[in-house]
Amino acid sequence: MTIASYFADLIEQISPIHGRGEAISIAKIIAEDVFHCASIQSVQQLTSEQQVQAQAIKEELLTGKPLQQILGMADFYGLKFIVDEHVLIPRQETEELVFEALRVFPPEENIKVLDIGTGSGCIPITLKHEAPGWEVSAIDISEEALYIAHLNALNNDTEIYFLKQDILDEDQWENHRYYDLIISNPPYIPHSEASLMPDSVKKFEPSVALFVEDSDPVIFYKKIAKFARQHLRQNGVLLFETNEFNATDVEALLIKEGFHQVQIIKDIHRKDRIVKAKA
Ligand code: GLN
């Protein structure tokens, strides 16, 4: 079987499940990362070993499993991150959050940073990689996620202080010091909107990382804002990832909490994506 015929068949079969655009992206990642081949139209033959591997990947994709979980690896900001079912797959939108953090503080400045709800650790690890002088800490409620985040920090040669903590529990706040930057991409999807999410996300990604109660969809933003009032230095910066449906609610709550220069920043698709504020 040629590489081209494998991918033509793969795209055809997985498009109904993953969507055609995503199916083509999946094919390109497999070509590059698994077959080390530049094109999905190559007429090169797959070896018999590659055919077995190709078939196994296709079968898993047909269950709706995201490619990153099948390969156990995701790309983020030019780095590789181990992922499994306990962590959210790092998203492109989150790269923009990281980019914004690196725009706000010069990499050579000696600042202290905290990432809340770190998951795979993609945010703190990328920040530390880009700005080695920063002192970066990260918390998460999930022990399984922290295990993956630790591995990712090791693999990417970065030193991060990880701590298991539930940010919603105020009793756990006191062992924190002051930070110059607090950053978070918290869960924010109300359970009632779950039906709008792709099945592959609902079935395979951790619900603790995604969903919140309908009764208080901005609960994490509220708690983190309160935490930041107590643990951000004067002129420190709070950076949140949001989506286009909750950005103005988050903006309003930060203004109400007394933050300054509250600003919504759009992503490359012109959608509200980041809310930034100063203490
Ligand atoms: N911080 C991680 C990310 O941005 C995890 C976020 C989450 O689990 N809500 O990918």
Residue 272 CA to ligand 1 centre (angstroms): 17
DSSP letters, 187-249, are: --EEGGGGGGS-HHHHHHS-HHHHEE-TT-TTHHHHHHHHHHHHHEEEEEEEEEE--TTTHHH
For atom 7 of ligand 1, the residue with the nearest CA is 209
- What digits encode the pLDDT tens for the residues 81-103? 999 999 999 999 999 999 999 99
Residue 42 CA to ligand 1 centre (angstroms): 36
Residue 53 CA to ligand 1 centre (angstroms): 30
Note the pTM of the prediction, 2 decimals.
0.92
* Ligand 1 atom nearest to 206, measured from its CA: 8
For atom 1 of ligand 1, the residue with the nearest CA is 118
Kindly list the domain boundaries of the chain, sorted by start residue: 3-64, 83-278
* Ligand 1 atom nearest to 184, measured from its CA: 1
Q: Which residues line ligand 1 (CB under 6 A)?
A: 88, 90, 94, 117-120, 122-123, 185-187, 209
For atom 10 of ligand 1, the residue with the nearest CA is 90
Average pLDDT, the chain: 95
Across the strands, what pairs with 263? 276
**Any idea which architecture 83-278 has in CATH?**
3-Layer(aba) Sandwich (3.40)
Ramachandran area for residue 278 (φ above 0: left; ψ -120 to 50: alpha; else beta): beta
Question: Can you give the pLDDT at residue 38?
Answer: 87
Dihedral angle, C-alpha 241, 211, 25, 71, nearest 10 °: 110
* Ligand 1 atom nearest to 187, measured from its CA: 9
The pairing of strands 135-140 and 272-278 is unpaired
- What digits encode the pLDDT tens for the residues 139-180? 999 999 999 999 999 999 999 999 999 999 999 998 898 999
Give 131-135 contacts, CB < 8 A, sequence gap 24+: 131/102, 131/105, 131/107, 132/107, 132/158, 133/107, 133/108, 133/109, 134/105, 134/107, 134/109, 134/110, 135/110, 135/111, 135/161
* Ligand 1 atom nearest to 120, measured from its CA: 2
- What digits encode the pLDDT tens for the residues 157-168? 999 999 999 999
